Structure 1
Amino acid sequence: MQDGQAADSRHSKVLIIGSGPAGYTAGIYAARGALSPILIEGPQPGGQLTITTEVENWPGDESVLGPELMARMGEQVRKAGVEVVSDLIVDVDLTRTPFLAISDGGTHYTADTIVVATGASARWLGLESEAAYRGRGVSACATCDGFFYRGRVCAVVGGGNTAVEEALYLTNFAEKVYLIHRRDTLRADRTNQRRLRANPKIEMIWNAEVAEVLGDTSSVNGIVLRNTRDGTTSQLSLHGLFIAIGHDPATALFKGQLHMDEEGYILVAPGSTATSVPGVFAAGDVQDKLFRQAVTSAGMGCMAALEAERYLAGHNTHMIATDGTDANLQI
């Protein structure tokens, strides 16, 4: 990264990178704190909710379309006084202060604090038919969409803890749940495997992969399975297909500058959004691989903005953990 001022340079007290529920909420709270934040929308303004259909677990809305919810949130952010910029950050330097972020158009954004809210994206199987039915029977979030399959038949693809937990969760609604795994053993821990075996609603399908998603003009009605050992195919009737083969946090931009776990999620201090670099905060799916909900992301966005405000006020240069040690050093 080149140092120095660019021809097109902007400075803000708070720079928010990302525009899902975490980024938008951080913007609202930062604006209410009179911090004049700049929010960089990134490649997908509004985040993952813009590619979902109905959302029924957002407080205050019995049912709302994901794109509609994010459009309303974006409008509220702008009315609050946040400067929203349609831009993409391609490089950052967190070793200097003020921090520096460079966009693909060459604009240099400097900031006293940064809120990272770049989110994460689900891994998909890569099938054309899978993409065609996303939001119409194909999902990557049982907690988000399981309610729609009350009394119906579903399948989960995957072999790790996430897949098993998704299958177990779906049994609260579905009549039957298939767990499809391309091998003959699961990667999930023993506790989850015990729960799986004890649940009469779940049936394992071993050594199989989804070759095609079947459906009509409105929804999924089945899948084609391919045996991973002999290549033979078969059809399975169902109403919902949940892909649980992992998520990829959008953190490549910060590798080598922020502490991360082995999967690339940004590590934060316990009970905080503070990262390993004082003045840089991470909110939403970029650091949360457990809940991954819009409402928890929004809560973390609120936390990040408030922590940035305290940092700027000089009261939170070093986050103190409950045991009296420097929390920033614990991550």
Structure 2
Amino acid sequence: MDTQRKTRLLIIGSGPAGYTAGVYGARAMLDPILVQGIEPGGQLTTTTEVENWPGDTEVQGPDLMVRMEAHAKAMGCEIVGDIITDLDLSSRPFIARGDSGTTYEADAVILATGARAKWLGLDSEEAFKGFGVSACATCDGFFYRGQEIVVIGGGNTAVEEALFLTNFASKVTLIHRRNELRAEKILQDRLLKHPKVETLWHHTLEEVVGEDNPKGVSAVRVKHVDTGEISEIPAKGVFIAIGHAPANELVKDTLELHHGGYVKVTPGSTETSIPGVFAAGDLTDHKYRQAVTSAGMGCMAALDAERFLAEQGEQTGKDETLPLGYGAPEGEGVAADEPQDA
């Protein structure tokens, strides 16, 4: 049965940006509804060890996202397991339609849909997806115990995937089109010293080779970028790790984009080209793309949304002399344009 929901703040997406926006939106008494989307928890649910989240020397990505979800719920954010399939931003209140049949009406929207893995676009890559070709080492690495595999890419994603896959594979070959990696130095150091890892510089993937009965990968054909020479490398698994693209499908025709599809926001804020619509996390961040920066932008988006609603005369019921998103003892309020750290 189709249902209709009304909320002052709708948050679309459930990574660090979405859940943090949920925490701050709930603390601002906006009674937010957060729709999780197709991948609850976002990219960190397919990551193992996270070593750069402040306060945790090491934490498993899925565990961190479970904690974030629980925190948002505890603050009063309603979390819904639905997928937004259509978003009408032509007028306020904004209208979002979910795959469940639910229609969400919102006075303000925070977009935190994140990013998704990029693919090379090869026919053979498409043919063997799920049968030896993957973009998620933590999802599929277990299936390649004792096998030789290859990883394509040269950034943080590729190096992290390659290092993780050494837990299962007999050999990991990292194939990169340049002669140096773009990953963080500490990751490069670990990779280049690992006895199971071999790097193949100046090469690109030309074709995934395999059989149809049973369906599976047996090798990859690679091309030297300078000489054009083709060579073949035995492999049972091929992991594509060339980065991510912003998940902008809902707004690519309505919001201003830049840098290849990232949602453009006003410098120093999360405001988009439509008043009342805010964007945070990897959907808008083409430069840093870190969990901690995404969380920070989620905080900013909730505070920006609260200010916007207040300016529209849609007050939260709080003393307007208090900083946005925070409470203070009586007599200790500060001007609304001087938010404090928490």
TM-score, normalised via structure 2 length: 0.68
Contact in 1 for aligned 2:159/2:183 (Cα 8 Å):
no
* Alignment partner, residue 311 of structure 1: 308
Q: After TM superposition, give the deviation of residue 94 of structure 1 in Å.
A: 0.6
**Which residues in structure 2 correspond to 1:1-331 (within 5 Å)?**
8-124=3-119, 126=125, 127=129, 128-131=131-134, 134-135=137-138, 136=141, 142=156, 146=160, 157=175, 159=177, 165-166=182-183, 170-175=187-192, 204-206=201-203, 208-209=205-206, 211=208, 224-228=219-223, 232-234=231-233, 243-261=240-258, 263-314=260-311
What do the CA deviations read for 1:229-279 (whole angstroms, capped 9, x no partner)? 56541359xxxx984534221111112211112622111111111100011
Q: For residues 119 and 204 of structure 2, what CA distance do their matches in structure 1 show?
A: 18
- Count, aligned residues: 275
Letter in 1 for 2:183: E
Structure 2 unaligned blocks of 5 or more: 142-148, 211-217, 315-342
Letter in 2 for 1:165: R
Closer, same or farther: CA 129–144 of 1 in aligned 2, 3 Å:
closer
Contact in 2 for aligned 1:87/1:104 (Cα 8 Å):
yes
Q: For residues 20 and 55 of structure 1, what CA distance do their matches in structure 2 show?
A: 14
Closer, same or farther: CA 233–155 of 1 in aligned 2, 3 Å:
closer
Contact in 2 for aligned 1:23/1:117 (Cα 8 Å):
yes
What do the CA deviations read for 1:18-40 (whole angstroms, capped 9, x no partner)? 00100000000000011100000
2:263 aligns to what SS in structure 1?
A: coil
Contact in 1 for aligned 2:73/2:79 (Cα 8 Å):
yes
Contact in 2 for aligned 1:249/1:265 (Cα 8 Å):
yes
1:252 aligns to what SS in structure 2?
A: coil
Q: For residues 307 and 81 of structure 1, what CA distance do their matches in structure 2 show?
A: 19
Contact in 1 for aligned 2:17/2:112 (Cα 8 Å):
yes
What do the CA deviations read for 1:2-31 (whole angstroms, capped 9, x no partner)? xxxx96211111100000100000000000
Letter in 1 for 2:34: L
Q: After TM superposition, give the deviation of residue 203 of structure 1 in Å.
A: 6.5
Cα RMSD for the two superposed structures: 3.8
Q: For residues 222 and 234 of structure 2, what CA distance do their matches in structure 1 show?
A: 11
Q: For residues 316 and 171 of structure 1, what CA distance do their matches in structure 2 show?
A: 52
Closer, same or farther: CA 232–203 of 1 in aligned 2, 3 Å:
closer
Contact in 1 for aligned 2:134/2:240 (Cα 8 Å):
no
Structure 1 unaligned blocks of 5 or more: 1-5, 178-200, 214-222, 318-331
2:262 aligns to what SS in structure 1?
A: coil
Letter in 2 for 1:308: A
Q: After TM superposition, give the deviation of residue 131 of structure 1 in Å.
A: 2.7
Letter in 2 for 1:233: E
Q: After TM superposition, give the deviation of residue 207 of structure 1 in Å.
A: 5.1
Closer, same or farther: CA 98–131 of 1 in aligned 2, 3 Å:
same
2:18 aligns to what SS in structure 1?
A: helix
